[in-house]
Structure 1
């Protein structure tokens, strides 16, 4: 898993941030606004990690944060378009790189990792 993380760090370097920030932005691009809890559930990160990362994204003026009672709503800011273009380009490049490196073993490996991840996440509920 460390090798995958290192590859992702390398491929997502053009965003100027760690890949997790791009994952948050792309999740918001798919569905927005979302709460910290929704992003945490979608991405599988701890709420405290999501909270810290969205504060960094807000400081970069990539997202807006709006308090809604005890929840915080996160939405894309106008400046997010350029970041998202770069992040989506990185996602495509990551897919191509892993296709090239893993070949025919990529799909079954990904399926198995996804299945096992879901099992592990269910155990934490």
Structure 2
């Protein structure tokens, strides 16, 4: 996993931010506005991590934060278009790079990682609920 994270860091370097920021932005791009809780659930991040990260994105005018009841909603900001153009190009490049590295193993590996990630997320949620 660390190796693929290093590849992602290199590929997403043109955004000027770690890949997780691009993942948040692209999630919001797909459907917006979203709550911090929804983003955290979609990406499998802790809510506190997403909260911290969207504050950074807001400082850069990439997102706009609004309080709606007890939830904070996140929408695309005025500087989001240029960032998303670069981030989406990085996503395409990341796909190409991982295709080159992993070849025919990529599909099976991705399927297995996704399946195991779902198991771990479900298991940890169940274990936390039982405490």
- Fold shared by both chains (TM-score > 0.5): yes
Residues 24-103 of structure 1 mapped to structure 2, 5 A cutoff: 24-103=24-103
Q: Deviations over 1:66-92 (max 9, x none)?
A: 011111000001210000000000000
- Once residues 84 and 6 of structure 1 are traced to their aligned partners in structure 2, the CA distance between those partners, rounded to angstroms, is 21
Q: What do you get for the CA RMSD once the two structures are aligned?
A: 0.5
Aligned to 2:128: none
- Once residues 86 and 75 of structure 2 are traced to their aligned partners in structure 1, the CA distance between those partners, rounded to angstroms, is 18
Aligned to 1:113: 113
The Cα of 1:124 is off from its aligned counterpart by 2.4
* SS in structure 1 of the partner of residue 17 of structure 2: coil
- Once residues 81 and 47 of structure 1 are traced to their aligned partners in structure 2, the CA distance between those partners, rounded to angstroms, is 25
Q: Structure 1: any 5+ residue segments left out of the alignment? A: none
TM-score by length of 1: 0.99
Aligned residues: 125
Q: Deviations over 1:29-84 (max 9, x none)?
A: 00100000000000000000000000000000000000111110000012100000
Q: Structure 2: any 5+ residue segments left out of the alignment? A: 126-131
- Runs of 4+ displaced beyond 3 Å: none
